[in-house]
Amino acid sequence: MKTAPSIDPVEIGYYERLAHTWWDRQGPLWPIHTLNTLRVRYLKRQITGHFGIARRSGKPLSGLRILDIGCGGGILSEALARLGADVTGVDVAKRNINVARHHAAEAGLPVYYLLGSAEDLAEAGERFDVVLNMEVVEHVADLGAFMKACNALVRPGGMMFVATINRSPLSWLVAIFGAEYVLGWLPKGTHQYKRLVKPKELEALLSDGKLSVTDVRGVRVNPITRGFSLTESPLVNYMMTAARPPESGYWGEGKKLEKLGAR
């Protein structure tokens, strides 16, 4: 794995220390498990609508090549693999990849996990139908370089999803002070306010890569029930859908991932 400009060693170390807790639904990463149900439902609806997929019993995403950037322990990757997608998960933390591989093997799911970065895959010429960029942009050292690589990974006619936290006084109060320091829902230091990204900033970076935003939804958290729901307001957490228009020619499937790392 090359050292990409977007990689922050401090962030890697932070998630390496949490790696053993990925699949503990009652552990420090429980919000990701709860959020996963909501985001899978949203992703499924947006993807099937974009590609004009008619209902397929149990496997609506069959035939689609999906990349999960910053896959962690594989929570989202596995959920989409169960829907029939050909999923590749990539992460810069080795312990995360080891946990993800082990869990997928136990579950009997053919998810391909790779230790590396979005920059590695973009440089190798890889292209995907769907690129998932979920809760990653707020953790990278060079957002511009990272998004440039992510944009390059979307094939013509493909799409990208980005989920993150807005940079606003309300998001600091709710997502950082509230979630990390008052409620203790996330470990302290999970997020740095200065790295949070406003929707308009993210939209500009996607536009640089010739992707157009087609949908934005806020994510609301109920502190009493600890449940997540969609909202029209992106002031705190939000998910953004972007699409690349079809173009003449096709970039192809790219080089084989086996050249970049072992399964």
Q: What is the mean pLDDT of residues 191-218?
A: 91
CA atoms within 13 A of residue 42's CA, in its CB half-sphere = 25
Q: What is the mean pLDDT of residues 142-150?
A: 96
pLDDT of 15 strictly over 70: no
Whole-angstrom distance, CA of residue 222 vs CA of residue 244: 34
Q: What is the pLDDT of residue 226?
A: 75
Q: What is the pLDDT of residue 179?
A: 60
pLDDT of 251 strictly over 60: no
pLDDT tens-digit series, residues 45-103: 999 999 999 876 789 999 999 999 999 999 999 999 999 999 999 999 999 999 999 99
For residue 121, what are the CA distances in angstroms to 29, 190, 259?
27, 26, 11
| Cα Dmax for the chain | 53
Would you say 199 and 210 are in contact if contact means Cβ atoms under 8 Å apart?
A: no
Beta strand 86-91 with 65-69: parallel, antiparallel or unpaired? parallel
Residue closest to 126 by CA, chosen among 83, 158, 94, 97? 158
Whole-angstrom distance, CA of residue 155 vs CA of residue 152: 8
Whole-angstrom distance, CA of residue 142 vs CA of residue 137: 9
- The encoded tokens of residue 165 equal 């936290």
- Name the phi and psi angles at 154, rounded to 5: -90, 120
Q: Which amino acid is at 210?
A: K
pLDDT of 263 strictly over 50: no
Contacts of 129 (CB under 8 A, 6+ apart): 51, 64, 65, 66, 155, 157, 158, 159
- The encoded tokens of residue 54 equal 């008619």
Q: What is the pLDDT of residue 10?
A: 57
Q: In sequence order, which ranges of 51-182 are alpha helices (DSSP H)?
A: 75-81, 94-107, 118-123, 143-152, 169-171
